Amino acid sequence: MKIRYNGKEYVFDGKTIEEFLKSNNLWSNEILVAEINGTKWDLTRPLTGFTGTIELKTYTFDDEKGKQTFWHTSAHILAQAVKRLFPHAKIAIGPSISEGFYYDFDIKLSEDDLKKIEEEMKKVIKENLKIERMELSYDKSKKMFKDEPYKLELIEDFNNEGYKLSAYKQGEFVDLCQGPHLPSTGYVKAVKLIKLAGAYWRGDARNKMLTRVYGISFPKKEMLKEYLYRIEEAKKRDHRKLGRELDLFSLHEEGPGFVFWHHKGIVLRNILMDFWRKVHYANGYQEVSTPIILCKELWIQSGHWDHYKDNMYFTKIDDKDYAIKPMNCPGGILVYKSRPRSYKEFPLKMGEFGLVHRHELSGVLHGLLRVRAFIQDDAHIFCEEEQMKHEIKQVVKLVGSVYKVFGFQYHVEVSTRPEDRVGSNEIWDKAESALIEVVKELNLEYKINEGDGAFYGPKIDFHIKDTLGRTWQCATVQLDFNMPERFNLTYMGRDGTYNHRPVMIHRTVYGSLERFVGILIEHYAGKFPLWLNPVQVKLLSVADRHIEKAKSIGEKLVEKGFRAEYDFENLSISKKVRNAELEKVNYIIVIGDKDSEESLAIRNREGKVEKMSLQQFIEKMKKEIAEPYKIVGLKG
Ligand SMILES: [Zn+2]
Ligand SMILES: [Zn+2]
């Protein structure tokens, strides 16, 4: 038998991948699972039935496939622990999930039981039981699982679907499973059971409600610590909680998925919009605004009616059908068509803060991150085909510089033609290869998302990484040959005729302002940098006789364009400082007898107090606020 691994070919006569790796000095304890000719394979499973050259890959916890195997094996350990403590519990299924694993049991469990089960799991891990695969006949598997009704049901299904039946054994515990698994239970070095939930057998409400136990596990103890820290930190940073505490926005049952912005939230949103305008105007963008309600015929022409209807809301005016716009494109196209266009005005970059409505299922709504109405910082670029690659590069660079302002790392993904789409394959070939050329020429690391493009064109999506290492999809650049065709867009070329079709690029930088604000709240944990903070300075009076003085200083700050608030309550000064700290303002100024415009005690968010005059303080803040503008090449 021959094995090809990491670009090299080996001759091998042994039994398992583990043996192969060990005999060639390729073994490492980090390797969790193998893949043979595209099929996942236990490291200890005998290599039978293979001829010719085997393509071997191996995976560690750093790989998605390695993680799945690790977490799925942990689910078996969980089931084993439950069976030891509660022998009458019936076991159902136990898959890995995006973070961790679960197992469903037919037994009632309490929070106290979780602790006990976790302890028992640690014992199973310590015993470092070998995990062995068994191939089973239908009859043998029925006998083996005669006391497990859920497994018996699965055996029937698998058998009917023509699957080969198999089970895995670790110590006294055997589970019906396709595998693969880790070689032994000792690979798991840290485990934590997270929570209990109810779950219907097979997700069907007509079936019995089972108890689902969620857990997480890792190959290193520190990794669990880091994970738990991240979870705690994420809870503290939850934008819904901070949004309430900082008085930015609220959500109400009366409008599910629709955001109620409070004054401070609007201030924040306006800062982002002003910044956007400065950046875009400086980069040659125009700004337009198009209606949110447009007639049905327009949406039929754009293709939204056939390919996007499920996400749209509709209304009637004078008995005529209209749709609430889910995208701004048709509106932008009508502006383009309002007069003849010439190559001389290309690239024509038309920006729009467009309020779009998209129907999302109520179950997926999540604070500002998943809403039903949002402002898109949209723009449509109309240009000649020869210009499109350059223009896409400009957009990618623009997005990169704006993300730098917020300290976001990011990676890009190229999404290709979906099943449900408009346009010919030739057009899609051309558009997809143009996007891939652009990311290659810009030396960007990228991933391909097959079939995830918009219905009218492929796209480059930007996934940003926040301070907790979580990724969010925000900006997008989409290349579109289809809409210009469907709307018969033309321009006058160098030959003086209008026999020319422009290319259309759709793009956003923030993506959705709602979502972007949500991400920023969690990214900064509510501690916004000075230029973004809705309240930058809080002035506190020591006694009532200091109120006038504090007001006059505050007014001078406001005159200069800063955002200042007061606290003149009759509370102790330490209490007032504490309150201002909770509001996460950038600077606190306590005004007492000794304080004046010539000498103020400026306290920053870290609690450091610095003496300076009002003028010096203003200069200091001006400098701080100019930073983001410098990054994008603006004066501020
Ligand atoms: Zn399994
Ligand atoms: Zn568009």
Active site residue 380: yes
Report d(CA 186, CA 128) in Å as an integer: 4
Does the structure show a pLDDT above 90 at 471? no
Q: How confident is the model at residue 470 (pLDDT cuts 50, 70, 90)?
A: confident
Q: Are residues 380 and 468 in the same domain?
A: yes
Q: Residue length, the chain?
A: 636
The residue among 165, 199, 233 that closes a domain is 233
Structural domain including 558 reads: 537-631
Directed axis angle between helix 111-126 and helix 64-85, to 10°?
110
Q: Are residues 427 and 554 in the same domain?
A: no
Q: Are residues 495 and 551 in the same domain?
A: no
Active-site residue, selected from the candidate residues 358, 417, 507, 584: 358
Active-site residue, selected from the candidate residues 212, 341, 357, 380: 380
Q: Are residues 405 and 356 in the same domain?
A: yes
Closest CA to 562 of 595, 586, 591, 546: 586
* 3 state DSSP class of 249: strand
In degrees and rounded to multiples of 5, residue 321 shows phi and psi of -80, 135
In which element (H, E) is residue 40 found?
strand 39-41
What is the distance in A from the centroid of ligand 1 to the CA of 5? Answer: 26
Strand order, beta sheet including 286-287? 286-287, 348-357, 373-383, 503-512, 471-480, 459-465, 409-415, 446-449
Supply the DSSP symbol for 420: S
Does the structure show a pLDDT above 90 at 469? no
Active-site residue, selected from the candidate residues 40, 280, 304, 329: 329
Give the gyration radius of the chain's Cα atoms: 31
Does the structure show a pLDDT above 90 at 445? no
What is the distance in A from the centroid of ligand 1 to the CA of 355? Answer: 48
- In this prediction, residue 472 carries a pLDDT of 87
The residue among 469, 503, 524 that closes a domain is 524
What is the distance in A from the centroid of ligand 1 to the CA of 181? Answer: 6
Tell me whether residue 310 is in a domain: no
Closest CA to 132 of 166, 168, 165: 168
Active site residue 378: yes
Identify which has the larger pLDDT, 233 or 78.
78
- In this prediction, residue 636 carries a pLDDT of 62
- In this prediction, residue 363 carries a pLDDT of 84
Report d(CA 485, CA 472) in Å as an integer: 33
Active site residue 177: no
- Are the beta carbons of 135 and 239 closer than 8 angstroms? no
Question: What is the percentage of the chain residues whose pLDDT exceeds 70?
Answer: 100
Active site residue 252: no
Tell me whether residue 530 is in a domain: no
Report d(CA 476, CA 324) in Å as an integer: 22
What is the distance in A from the centroid of ligand 2 to the CA of 372? Answer: 18
- Are the beta carbons of 463 and 476 closer than 8 angstroms? no
Q: What is each CA distance from 472 to 193, 311, 468, 510, 511, in whole angstroms? A: 27, 21, 11, 11, 10
Tell me whether residue 239 is in a domain: no
Active site residue 459: yes
Tell me whether residue 317 is in a domain: no
Q: Are residues 461 and 569 in the same domain?
A: no
What does the H/E/C string look like for 533-560?
A: CCCCEEEEECCHHHHHHHHHHHHHHHHC
Domain with 19 in it: what CATH number? Answer: 3.10.20
What is the distance in A from the centroid of ligand 2 to the CA of 415? Answer: 16
In which element (H, E) is residue 138 found?
helix 138-144
Report d(CA 303, CA 456) in Å as an integer: 8
Tell me whether residue 387 is in a domain: yes
Q: Any idea which residue has 């000075």 for tokens?
A: 530
Does the structure show a pLDDT above 70 at 342? yes
Residue 217 CB coordination number (10 Å): 26
Q: Are residues 408 and 506 in the same domain?
A: yes
- Are the beta carbons of 606 and 255 closer than 8 angstroms? no
Tell me whether residue 320 is in a domain: no
Domain with 492 in it: what CATH number? Answer: 3.30.930.10
Worst-scoring range by mean pLDDT, 253-257, 369-373, 427-431, 492-496?
Answer: 427-431
Q: Are residues 84 and 225 in the same domain?
A: yes
- Are the beta carbons of 322 and 299 closer than 8 angstroms? no
Residues 6+ apart with CB under 8 A from 500: 343, 384, 490, 491, 492, 493
Supply the DSSP symbol for 202: G
Active-site residue, selected from the candidate residues 377, 378, 461, 466: 378
- In this prediction, residue 362 carries a pLDDT of 86
Domain with 593 in it: what CATH number? Answer: 3.40.50.800
Active site residue 80: no
Identify which has the larger pLDDT, 471 or 278.
278
Q: Are residues 432 and 473 in the same domain?
A: yes
Tell me whether residue 311 is in a domain: no
What is the distance in A from the centroid of ligand 1 to the CA of 178? Answer: 6
pLDDT tens per residue, range 518-576: 999 999 999 999 999 999 999 999 999 999 999 999 999 999 999 999 999 999 999 99
Q: Are residues 79 and 53 in the same domain?
A: no
Tell me whether residue 416 is in a domain: yes
Tokens of 572: 């102790």
What is the distance in A from the centroid of ligand 2 to the CA of 229? Answer: 40
Residues 6+ apart with CB under 8 A from 426: none
Q: How confident is the model at residue 258 (pLDDT cuts 50, 70, 90)?
A: very high
In degrees and rounded to multiples of 5, residue 389 shows phi and psi of -65, -40
Q: How confident is the model at residue 50 (pLDDT cuts 50, 70, 90)?
A: confident
Q: Any idea which residue has 């990228």 for tokens?
A: 446
Active site residue 420: no
Does the structure show a pLDDT above 90 at 19? yes
Q: Are residues 504 and 546 in the same domain?
A: no
Identify which has the larger pLDDT, 470 or 617.
617
DSSP string, 67-79: HHHHHHHHHHHHH
Q: Are residues 377 and 423 in the same domain?
A: yes
Q: Are residues 488 and 615 in the same domain?
A: no
- In this prediction, residue 220 carries a pLDDT of 97
- Are the beta carbons of 193 and 38 closer than 8 angstroms? no
What is the pLDDT of the chain when averaged over all its residues?
95
Tokens of 33: 């699972």
pLDDT tens per residue, range 115-156: 999 999 999 999 999 999 999 999 999 999 999 999 999 999
Closest CA to 178 of 186, 168, 170, 187: 168
Report d(CA 243, CA 522) in Å as an integer: 10
Directed axis angle between helix 388-405 and helix 263-282, to 10°?
140
By 3-state DSSP, what share of the chain in percent is helix, strand and coil, each rounded to 5? 40, 30, 35
Total domains, the chain: 4
Residue 43 CB coordination number (10 Å): 24
Identify which has the larger pLDDT, 51 or 265.
265
The residue among 205, 233, 261 that closes a domain is 233
- In this prediction, residue 72 carries a pLDDT of 98
Tokens of 132: 């062995």
- In this prediction, residue 52 carries a pLDDT of 87
- In this prediction, residue 467 carries a pLDDT of 75
pLDDT tens per residue, range 68-114: 999 999 999 999 999 999 999 999 999 999 899 999 999 999 999 99
